[in-house]
Structure 1
Amino acid sequence: MTELADRLEALETRIAFQDHTIDELNATITAQWQQIDILKRKLDTIEQQVRAGVHIADPASEPPPPHY
């Protein structure tokens, strides 16, 4: 009966590790989606500013870099 008990314990241990891994993956995916949402909002804001004609520096008006 100890062989069966050992196999059962091994399966329970394996399931516990799998559950832990699934929880970690879920947390990672949730954090990534939150970051994606933040980045989407920032991109939308920038797009609105560009479409509204918010002044963006003209490269011709920039002074040349020091190595010129």
Structure 2
Amino acid sequence: MTEDATDLVARIDDLEIRIAHQDGVIADLDKVVTAQWAEIDRLKRLVGNLADRLGEAESRVDEFMPQKRPPHY
């Protein structure tokens, strides 16, 4: 082969190596993003449940707390 052909083959090999590496990185990032979305969904459900429980607790406190001000106010 000529020097130009050898250089071209080397450049193509380098590009193929870079693409293979980038494919691996993209796959790893996809796994991380998928795991993060799962965690975000779990945390959203948890916050929603806590908000519901807080609302229930506040409504129960209102039942037991006097609504008028004590005489010392």
Confirm or deny a common fold (TM above 0.5): yes
Computing the radius of gyration over CA atoms, which structure comes out larger, 1 or 2?
2
Is 1:14 equivalent to 2:21 in the alignment?
A: no
Structure 2: runs of 5+ lacking an equivalent: 61-73
Shift of 1:53: 1.2
Give every structure 1 segment of 4 or more consecutive aligned residues whose post-TM-superposition deviation is greater than 4 Å: none
Structure 1: runs of 5+ lacking an equivalent: 56-68
Is 1:3 equivalent to 2:7 in the alignment?
A: yes
TM-score, normalized by length of structure 1?
Answer: 0.76
Shift of 1:40: 0.6
What root-mean-square deviation, in Å, do the aligned CA atoms of Structure 1 and Structure 2 show? 1.4
**Residues 1-27 of structure 1 deviation map (CA, whole Å, 9 limit, x = unaligned):** 111110000000000001110111111
* Cα distance between partner residues in 2 of 1:6 and 1:50: 65
**Residue 36 of structure 1: which of 33, 36, 40 is its match?**
40
TM-score, normalized by length of structure 2?
Answer: 0.71
Which residue pairs with 2:63 in the alignment?
none
Structure showing the higher helix proportion among its residues: 2
Number of corresponding residues: 55
- The AA in structure 2 aligned to 1:9 is D
